[in-house]
């Protein structure tokens, strides 16, 4: 009997993670002086920090758009899924390192679990649909 994950359409990983990452990017950089204190209790009080958060927003939106394109365009599905695996694996690795050295972050622990799920799901899809 096939697992539940095996029954999901192969593009769903890219579609869902693309939407989530675009939304996260907008939260980080959309209006950092308002959203960061409201969501993460973190004051953004320097031009350099605003610049960095908006650059992160741009990366997240660009990557998210690539994943959405990959969800609907078979020609780039493999490269978008590989990009997704590298992104989710890299960001979860960084969060694990931070947890070990800096302690547990309550607001970002659910993000870590989601990133690990998307990492595993992407690996599964790369193996299954190669």
Q: What is the pLDDT of residues 49-74, one digit of tens each?
A: 999 999 999 999 999 999 999 999 99
pLDDT in tens, the chain (130 residues): 445 555 578 999 999 999 999 999 999 899 888 988 888 888 999 999 999 999 999 999 999 999 999 999 999 999 999 999 999 999 999 999 999 999 999 889 999 999 999 999 999 999 999 8
**Residue 75: how many CA atoms within 13 Å on its side-chain side?**
0
Tokens for 78? 């493999």
* Rounded Cα distance, 3 and 9, in Å: 13
pTM: 0.89
Q: What is the DSSP letter of 37?
A: H
Report pLDDT for 1. Answer: 42
Tokens for 83? 């990009």
| Cα angle 118, 122, 65; round to 5 | 75
The phi, psi pair for 125, rounded to 5°, reads: -65, -40
């Amino acid at each position: 009997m096939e697992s539940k994950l095996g029954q999901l359409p192969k593009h769903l990983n890219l579609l869902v993670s693309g939407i989530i990452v675009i939304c996260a990017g907008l939260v980080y950089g959309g209006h950092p002086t308002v959203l960061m204190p409201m969501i993460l209790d973190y004051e953004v009080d320097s031009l350099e920090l605003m610049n960095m958060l908006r650059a992160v927003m741009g990366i997240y939106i660009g990557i998210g758009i690539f994943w959405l394109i990959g969800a609907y365009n078979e020609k780039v599905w493999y490269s978008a899924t590989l990009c997704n695996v590298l992104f989710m694996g890299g960001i979860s690795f960084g969060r694990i390192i931070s947890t070990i050295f800096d302690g547990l972050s309550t607001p970002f622990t659910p993000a870590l679990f989601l990133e690990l799920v998307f990492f595993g799901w992407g690996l599964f899809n790369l193996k299954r649909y190669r």
